[in-house]
Structure 1
Amino acid sequence: MKENFNGKEVITIFKLSPYLFILGITLTVVEGLRIFYTYHPYTPYPTERLEYFSIGVILTFISSFFVWRNGKRSNDEYDPSKREKDYRTYINQLWKNRRKLGNLFVVATILGILSTELFFIELLLLIAGIIWSFIFIMRDNEEEDEAYIEKRSRKVKAFLAVVDYRKHPFHLPIILFILIIISFLYANHHEMILNHLDNGDSMYGWSFPLGMITLAAAVFATAFIFIIHNSDFFGIRQLKQNEEKIIGLHFADLGVSGLALFVWLITFWTAN
């Protein structure tokens, strides 16, 4: 590990940690989705796929500690007025023009539908979800009602403290995603027949692949908010995230995770 020398800023493990963390998240999600989409009860998974998924999970856990420690280290010296050039100004411009950006996503989705390739549509939704959550989280905070926050009961405040994305990244979306992938590895080992790619034609009417795609986007959203609250990221300076943004993400995550959990349980309940 290198430290500062003669006042010159050099790279440390704390500066690398957010990039290692997002690399771990990316490996976990990409390899997890590959395990999900290529499932076959009688064909074992390639060894390298299991290794990459495991590396992603381990890298996520280890690097998250350094991201968190970086946030603790920077608390005393945090002063937005003294920061270097901040690329957040460009993110704010994108947020102001989010309607135009949304129209591009709609056009891309229509093109995906016309292609008749359901996987292409799901891939577009994943990319759109990641981009949208990135812009939403990296933009400036909006003013929040301090009086409303103070009125919350102690139980509500204690609950929000436990599930606070800013303090650690291990919340419902990523935990559920990892558990689902582990269950598929278990099912493959025991040659269980799963109808997880029914794409909405099954009796429960919700597409498991679509549920996994939205869950993967939620995993990235929680990662982004954990990173930017504790560290700089690709020229976007660290910004302490307010509670209004956190609560909004909680509502979205509960819906996404709840649907994915429901379809997951039904899929394994009806497995042969």
Structure 2
Amino acid sequence: MFIRKAAPYFLLAGLVCIVSSGLWVLNVYDDYDSYPYFSYMLLITGIVLSIVSFLLTAAVRRKPSLQKSEDKKDYMEWAWRSGEKYGKKLAGGILAALIIIACFDFNLAISLLSPLFVAGMSGVALIFILHDQDKGEKRQPKNTFLNMADYRKQPFSLSLILFLFYAASFLISKHCGIQLNVGMESGSEETLTVPQAVNYLAVLIFASGFTYIIHNTGFFGIPRSKKSDVLIMAIHAGELVFGGLSLLAWVFIWL
């Protein structure tokens, strides 16, 4: 029972480690001659925690939820209303805080934009995931490839793989003394750069992670609830767009 309850928190901690380390690595590339040791360790720690969580969740025999479907429906409706009610107030408070910080330290305010964007959009994604409900339609058996792409069955999304790939390539380039043209992929300020694109991938990483957790276990008092195929397809659509753009930007920095 304890293992089942701890598994989702391991995954969440792992994703936070991966995303925070990866965003830092990608955004401070020009500020360091070589990355500090902790950037490697934090990334590795996140990967290990994510794998351990997946193995624990898969090993524990899944039991049907004891919570009534009506209770779940009421909880989801409450979460949706709360998100709408407090979301705007929270966003306004954060914006005001950023303006105040910018008055004293503009560079610090700019550096906070990336993590705040990821945290805010991940929170919005969580609200939509909570609202999503599987209608209970009968599904056809899927092959191995489709099962691997179903984030209700495993949390290692395409966005996570791409994110790790980009972070690893930046770490390796520094280690090997290869200078990348970060932020200058096409010579246009309007072009989406790799550090910018990974912000969207980070949101998709948390979206797929939340989907896996809530579909299989639930956490922080959020009950387990089945998620629909539409939600998975929406995440895949986001990955196709931002994954493709980020991959194109990544190719240009090596040219």
Q: TM-score, normalised by structure 2?
A: 0.81
User: Match of 2:53?
Assistant: 63
Q: Give, in whole Å, the separation in 2 of the partners of 1:193 and 1:266.
A: 13
User: Match of 1:73?
Assistant: 62
Q: Deviations over 1:188-236 (max 9, x none)?
A: 0111112223498548811322201111111111110011111021001
Q: CA deviation at 1:128?
A: 1.9
Q: CA deviation at 1:167?
A: 0.6
- Find the residue that maps to 2:68 and give its secondary structure: helix
- Relative to structure 1, the CA distance from residue 15 to residue 111 in structure 2 (aligned partners, 3 Å threshold; closer, same or farther) is closer
- Find the residue that maps to 1:73 and give its secondary structure: coil
User: Match of 1:241?
Assistant: 227
Contact persistence 2:122–2:203 (CA under 8 A): yes
State how 1:128-207 maps to structure 2 within 5 Å. Answer: 128-141=120-133, 143=135, 146=137, 158=143, 160-198=146-184, 202=188, 205-207=191-193
Q: Give, in whole Å, the separation in 2 of the partners of 1:78 and 1:46.
A: 45
Range with greater deviation from structure 2 (49-58 or 38-47): 38-47
Q: Give, in whole Å, the separation in 2 of the partners of 1:40 and 1:91.
A: 42
Higher helix share: 2
- Find the residue that maps to 1:213 and give its secondary structure: helix
* 5+ residue gaps, structure 1: 1-10
Query: Which one has the largest radius of gyration?
Result: 1
Q: Give, in whole Å, the separation in 2 of the partners of 1:168 and 1:239.
A: 16
* The one of 22, 25, 32 aligned to 1:32: 22
The number of aligned residues is: 247
**1:94 paired to 2:86:** no
Q: TM-score, normalised by structure 1?
A: 0.76
Q: Give, in whole Å, the separation in 2 of the partners of 1:192 and 1:42.
A: 13
Q: CA deviation at 1:93?
A: 1.7
Range with greater deviation from structure 2 (232-241 or 248-257): 248-257
**1:23 paired to 2:13:** yes
Q: Give, in whole Å, the separation in 1 of the partners of 2:134 and 2:216.
A: 18
Q: Deviations over 1:34-66 (max 9, x none)?
A: 111222497222112211211111111111121
- Relative to structure 1, the CA distance from residue 206 to residue 128 in structure 2 (aligned partners, 3 Å threshold; closer, same or farther) is same
Q: CA deviation at 1:166?
A: 0.5
Name the aligned partner's letter for residue 26 of structure 1. Answer: V
User: Match of 1:6?
Assistant: none
Q: Give, in whole Å, the separation in 1 of the partners of 2:112 and 2:185.
A: 13
Contact persistence 1:40–1:188 (CA under 8 A): no
- Relative to structure 1, the CA distance from residue 173 to residue 232 in structure 2 (aligned partners, 3 Å threshold; closer, same or farther) is same
Over the matched positions of the two proteins, sequence identity in percent amounts to 28
